[in-house]
Amino acid sequence: MDSLDDWFPYREYRPHQREMLEAAASIARDGGIAMIDAPTGSGKSSVVSALLAESRGRKVLVAVRTISQLATFMRELELIRKKRGDLKFAYLIGKSSMCPLGGEGDIYRRCEGVKSFSTALMRERAQKGSLVPANDRQIKQQIRKMDPEHPLICPYFIHGKSFVEPEDGGLKMIPSAALRVRAERVSTEVIWPDQLAGFCGDICPYDTMMHAARDADVVLVNFYHLFDDAIREQLYQSLGIEGHDAMLLIDEAHNCGDVVQSIESVTIEERDIVQAGHELSGRRRSPQADAIVQILPQITRFMEALKGSYETEDFFEPPVFQKMILSGTLYRSVEEIVDDLLKISEGIREKNMQAGEFRESAIERLTEFFYRIFRSAADPAYLTVYRKEEDGAVALEVRNIDPSTKLQDIARAHACCVLISGTLSPIESYRRYYFGDLPVTAMSLPNSFPPENRRIFCANDITTAYSMRRDRENLARTEDYITTFARLPGNLAVYFPSYDLLNTFAERCAPRIRKKQIYIESKDTTASATMLREFMALPGTGRSGILFAVCGGKWSEGLDYRGEMLSGALVIGLPLAPFNRVRKMVIDYFRMKFGEEGEFISYTLPAVNRALQALGRVLRTPEDRGMLILGEKRFLERRVHAGLPPWMQEEMTACTVDAFKKEAEKWRF
């Protein structure tokens, strides 16, 4: 029987690493759930070696959120493969990143449609003796004539298929020799995601990866592959496995809740109602369509009534919504509406697919919304919410506020489930939030990086609490912290709870910042990406800059600022979500569930995590040196302070702005 040492790819273990891996191996061997809070540098990606040591023929599925995290595990697995030459691993990323076929509409719907049409065409030609579709003259001719903006067949899919004639008769479609060769190489060599399309050539990259994944020991997937029921079921069917055949390793596990809530929520806008009317206009002879047409103006009137509200986000009562929608219609209940919508949406979907239209229809979206409305009546984990957009339009949302049911179902359906993160603190709060009363092995590791390479401060004389946001002395001290911090050497980052505060202090502080190029995070993704690349390249040119960014934004999570790319981070404020009636209802729900701790779990914990994620961008290797500052006195309050990792609580020094100026001067030299 293999031991952990047989799979561990390094010469020696880091401090506390073996303890972490043995705990993971025990869960893999005996089943169950483990949660591991391990700071950067703990070697938590090596947990995959612990699962492999106890795999006993089961697949290891590693769920990651970003391409950079996927790359981390690919590097780890390649090291393991150098020790264990027979290891195979593959990855699956979204089709939007991999599909070489052009065209409009939802990429998943388009893929389903063109594959269906392509399969029918290939089978028709195979019945006439053409068993290699890629060589068939008529298929080639259709591909040449095809409008690339509105494809009906997929040449990449076709090149990956061939037919054989089994002894019992008929035809069987199988992967082509070209696809099999590429898939074998993908699972035994390192082909990075940005190289995959070029490597696959005229073969579908997604089919290549899926074929490689069937025989792989480890499959790297994204969160949606795991947490979306429909995607997971389709994936497991393609892999030929069930949940109990797989062991789960979930990286960046502090994000699980947000992702599940996003998947389990649904929103409709006014334009969806208008589009639904257009889609139904050609189906008036259907009794169900005639009945649904009657409720569309009712939904619009409900939205119009909400435009008079002063709130940008608030709760709406499902009974009031249902009464208004049902009034004057043929329906007696929302359940009847859901039944009719399901029948109509299936028909529209099938018709659109046949016509080569692959976008999600408004009727399908409306169906999901009413289904969620129907569920919310009996499930307090769903809230009915409206939002007023910047242009005054109203959106209705059925929002999931509690991811625990889904997370528990997924964890129990698999052979084991190990969740890891560098900011899963306090781990007991995350355990209760995700898994309630289920037995969970929880472990929190200390920081293994040299403590002399870092200083951690918390300001006890500034706050972004709403009551103090216009206090002149508080504002002046906050500005002093930022400008003093800006004089530290190297690239720096200042993080704020909101874009409003970011812009306020960027404007106030910019004239006082010298010798550093200033970068202000934009809401525009493309512009932000360009600025970030420029910022990270500054040390190589002998220059330095300072980021003004938002906690939880594009520049605060999932980025690896190694070496001189970032030498310090200052978080201004406690990045709590805006407090309104919806937030109060969420807090009340969790108070009912967890008692006094419910408010911390649902409101304060996410804010603490956003701050920790921002600070965590700085110290990425044992050699990195940096200063971390929490510019908010609420981090010194007992409950908030207890939410910080134990190592940070021990090392953090409370300071005033005058004391910070002296410490910053020392750090510069």
Q: What is the tens place of the pLDDT at every residue in 407-455?
A: 999 999 999 999 999 989 999 999 999 999 999 999 999 988 888 889 9
Strands 394-400, 454-459: pairing is unpaired
Per-residue pLDDT, averaged over 205-211, amounts to 94
Strands 32-37, 416-421: pairing is parallel
CA distance 219 to 210: 10
Average model confidence (pLDDT) for the chain?
91
Per-residue pLDDT, averaged over 97-114, amounts to 82
pLDDT at 13 over 90: yes
Which residue, among 306, 277, 279, has the nearest Cα to 294 in the 3D structure? Answer: 277
Q: What is the tens place of the pLDDT at every residue in 362-379?
A: 899 999 999 999 888 889
This prediction's pTM: 0.91
Per-residue pLDDT, averaged over 66-77, amounts to 92
Number of separate helices (H) and strands (E) present in the chain: 30, 20
Q: What is the tens place of the pLDDT at every residue in 148-170?
A: 888 889 999 999 999 998 877 78
Strands 545-550, 517-520: pairing is parallel
Q: What is the tens place of the pLDDT at every residue in 246-304?
A: 999 999 999 999 999 999 999 999 999 999 998 888 665 678 888 888 899 999 999 99
CA dist list (Å): 71 to 172, 272, 281, 397? 37, 38, 49, 35
Q: What is the model's pLDDT at position 146?
A: 86
Q: What is the model's pLDDT at position 170?
A: 82
- DSSP 3-state helix, strand, coil percentages of the chain (rounded to 5)? 55, 15, 30
Q: What is the tens place of the pLDDT at every residue in 474-532?
A: 999 999 999 999 999 999 999 999 999 999 999 999 999 988 999 999 888 888 888 88
Which residue, among 422, 560, 568, has the nearest Cα to 495 in the 3D structure? Answer: 568
3-state secondary structure (DSSP) of residue 384: strand
Write the secondary structure of 483-550 as one string of H (helix), E (strand) and C (coil). Answer: HHHHCCCCCEEEEECCHHHHHHHHHHHHHHCCCCEEEECCCCHHHHHHHHHHHHHHHHHCCCEEEEEE
3-state secondary structure (DSSP) of residue 93: coil
Angle subtended at Cα 532 by Cα 530 and Cα 534, rounded to the nearest 5 degrees:
75
Q: What is the tens place of the pLDDT at every residue in 535-574?
A: 888 988 989 999 999 998 888 776 666 667 888 999 999 9
Cis upstream peptide for 193 (omega within 30°): no
Q: Burial of 475 by CB count in 10 Å (0-12 exposed, 13-18 middle, 19+ buried)? A: middle
Percent above pLDDT 70 for the chain: 97
Q: What is the model's pLDDT at position 669?
A: 44
Q: In what order do the strands lie in the sheet with 416-421?
A: 89-91, 218-222, 59-64, 246-250, 416-421, 32-37, 441-444
pLDDT at 392 over 60: yes
CA distance 272 to 362: 5
Angle subtended at Cα 109 by Cα 138 and Cα 131, rounded to the nearest 5 degrees:
30
